[in-house]
Amino acid sequence: MTPDLECADLVKRFGDTTAVDNVSFSVPPGSFFSILGPSGCGKTTIMRMIAGFLDPTSGDIRIKGGSVLDTPPNKRPVNMVFQHLALFPMMTIADNIGYGLRRQKMPKDQIARKVDEALDRIGLPGIGGRKVDELSGGQKQRVAIARCMVLEPDVLLLDEPLGALDLKLREHMKVELKALQAAFDTTFVYITHDQSEALVMSDQIAVMNAGRFEQVGTGQDLYYRPDTPFVAGFIGEANRWKGRIERAEGSALEMRTETGLAMRATATGTLSPGDTAEIFVRPESIRLAATAEALSAFDNQLQGTVTSILFNGAASRVLVQDSVGETLEVTLPQSGEFANLKRGDTLHIGWGAAQATCFAVAA
C-alpha cells in the first residue's frame, strides 16, 4: 500500500545549524506516527516542511505517493494543529469548525451537516452555538482538531497539541485523541517531548535527537529493545553503569564497572573485551528480596541499604545504596511484601543479564 506520507533524506539547514539532518520515514495510511525528542531537536522544523511553511534544503516529501515540494501550503492535503491552538474567539464553535469549508465555498447546508457530524465525533453534540470561551481547555482542543478534520486531510500534523493543558486533562486527552484518530480514520503525525503521550497513542514512534532519527519502532521496540544509548536513556528510566568489557561470548557479556563491580549483561551491537561500554537496567527489572538466597537465580546480585522511599502509588520506587556507594532506583513491587520498608533497612537486589542492555560508548 502506498504510504500516506513519506519523507526521503530530508535536510534543513539554517545557516550553520543543521536542524534536520537526513531524516527518512514513511507513514502507512490510517496510522498514528509520533516524533519524540528533546527541545530543539528539530521536530517542529520537520512538521513545517511537511505543511509547506518551510522549504527543505534537500530531500523529498511525498503524500500518497506524489511529491508535494512544488505544492503551496494551502493546496497540500495536510492540516496542522498547533500547540497553542488558534480558535477564533469572536466566532461560535460551529463557525470555527466550518471556517475552512466556507473558504472552500461549500454550500451552507452541507457545511452545517459536516459541522454537526464533527461535533458528534468529538463527543460534543449540540454545542455549535456556544462561544469559544464557554468551553474547557480540553473541549477547545477537541474543537481545534475537529476544525482540521472536517477538511478531510490525508495527513493531520499535531505539534504538541496537549502542551497547554494541565496534567489530568492531558492524561484524559491522550485516550481521547487515540479514539478520535480511529473515528476519523486519518493518518496522524504527532510531535511531543512527552514519552508517555507517544507510548500510549502511537503505532510507530521515531525518537529524534539533534536533527536525526535515532530509532523508529513501536513503543515496545523502543522500550525493550533500544538501539542506541540515547534511546535507552530517553525512554523510561534506567540505572546506568559505565565500565570496560572483560568477557564476551556472542551477546553475553561481563563488564567491570568503573567502581569495580562485575556485571553480566547483553550486548546491543558488537562488543569485545577491552571496549568501553555502558549498561542500562530499568528499575522495574530489578527484584528486591530480604535474603540473598531468594535471588540466587539472577545473574547479577547486590546487597544494599535503603536510602529513600519514593512513594508514588503504583509507580513507587526505592533508592538503594550498594556496597561501593552507588545509588540504584528499584521499583517497589505492588505485592505489599515491602510495604513496611524504611530508610536504613538492608536489602538484596538482583536482575538478569537479559534485562541489562549494554552499548559501546566512546572511551
Q: How far is the CB of 154 from ligand ATP (least distance, A)?
A: 23
**Joined grid coordinates for residue 154:** 490525508
Interface with ligand ATP, residue 43, by CB under 6 A: yes
Distance CA 42, CA 35 (A): 10
Beta bridge partners of 265: 253
Q: Which stretch binds Mg ion (CB under 5 A): 18-26, 41-49, 99-107, 199-207?
A: 41-49
Q: How far is the CB of 210 from ligand ATP (least distance, A)?
A: 9
Q: Which residues contact 211 (CB under 8 A, 6 or more apart)?
A: 18, 19, 20, 21, 23, 41, 42
Query: Which of 5, 10, 19, 231 touches ligand ATP (CB under 6 A)?
Result: 19
Q: Which three cell numbers stand for residue 198?
A: 507517544
Query: How much is the CA Rg of the chain, to the nearest whole Å?
Result: 25
Site membership for ligand ATP, residue 42 (CB under 6 A): yes
Residue 12 three-state SS: strand
53 lies in the site for ligand ATP, by CB under 6 A: no
- Signed CA dihedral, 117, 122, 124, 127: sign only: negative
Which residues neighbour 220 within 8 Å (Cβ) at sequence distance 6 or greater?
none
Question: Measured between alpha carbons, how far is residue 39 from residues 175, 182, 206, 258 in Å?
Answer: 24, 29, 15, 31
Instruction: Between 44 and 195, name the residue whose CB sits nearer to Mg ion.
Output: 44
Residue 88 binding partner per list ligand ATP, Mg ion, none, with a CB distance cut-off of 5 to 8 Å that depends on partner kind: none
Strands 276-281 and 17-27: unpaired
| CB closer to ligand ATP, 51 vs 115 | 51
Q: Which of 7, 27, 36, 41 lies at the binding interface for ligand ATP (CB under 6 A)? A: 41
Torsion-angle region of 176 (φ positive above 0: left; ψ -120 to 50: alpha; else: beta) = alpha
Cβ atoms of residues 162 and 170 within 8 Å: yes
**41 is in the binding site of which of Mg ion, ligand ATP, none (Cβ under 5 to 8 A by kind)?**
ligand ATP
- Say whether residue 331 binds Mg ion (CB under 5 A): no
Residue count, binding to Mg ion (CB under 5 A): 1
Q: How would you classify residue 74: left for phi > 0, otherwise alpha for psi between -120 and 50, otherwise beta?
A: alpha
Residue nearer to ligand ATP on the CB measure, 17 or 259: 17
- How many residues touch ligand ATP (CB under 6 A)? 12
Using CB under 6 A, which residues numbered 176 to 195 contact ligand ATP?
193
Nearer to ligand ATP, 47 or 263 (CB): 47
Comparing CB distances to ligand ATP, the nearer of 43 and 140 is 43
- Residue 331 binding result from Mg ion, ligand ATP, none, given CB thresholds of 5 to 8 Å by partner type: none
The nearer residue to Mg ion, 44 or 209, going by C-beta atoms, is 44
Q: Is residue 39 close enough to count as binding ligand ATP by CB under 6 A?
A: yes
Q: Using CB atoms, what's the residue nearest to Mg ion?
A: 44
Q: Is 195 one of the binding residues for Mg ion (CB under 5 A)?
A: no
Among positions 6, 7, 10, 44, the unique one binding Mg ion when judged by CB under 5 A = 44
Number of other residues whose CB lies within 10 A of the CB of residue 189: 26
Should residue 174 be labelled a site residue for ligand ATP when binding is judged by CB under 6 A?
no
CA end-to-end span of the chain, whole Å? 45
Is residue 14 a contact point for ligand ATP (CB under 6 A)? yes
Residues 6+ away with beta carbon under 8 Å from 103:
none
45 lies in the binding site for ligand ATP (CB under 6 A):
yes
| Residue 268 in contact with Mg ion, rule: CB under 5 A | no
Verify binding: residue 44, ligand ATP, rule CB under 6 A: yes
Nearest residue to 81 via CA among 171, 151, 147: 147
Which among 167, 168, 223 is positioned nearest to 36, based on CA atoms?
223
**Residue with Cβ nearer ligand ATP (7 or 19):** 19
* Cα dihedral: 310, 311, 312, 318 (round 10): 40
Binding site for Mg ion (CB under 5 A): 44
Binding site for ligand ATP (CB under 6 A): 14, 17, 19, 37, 39-45, 193
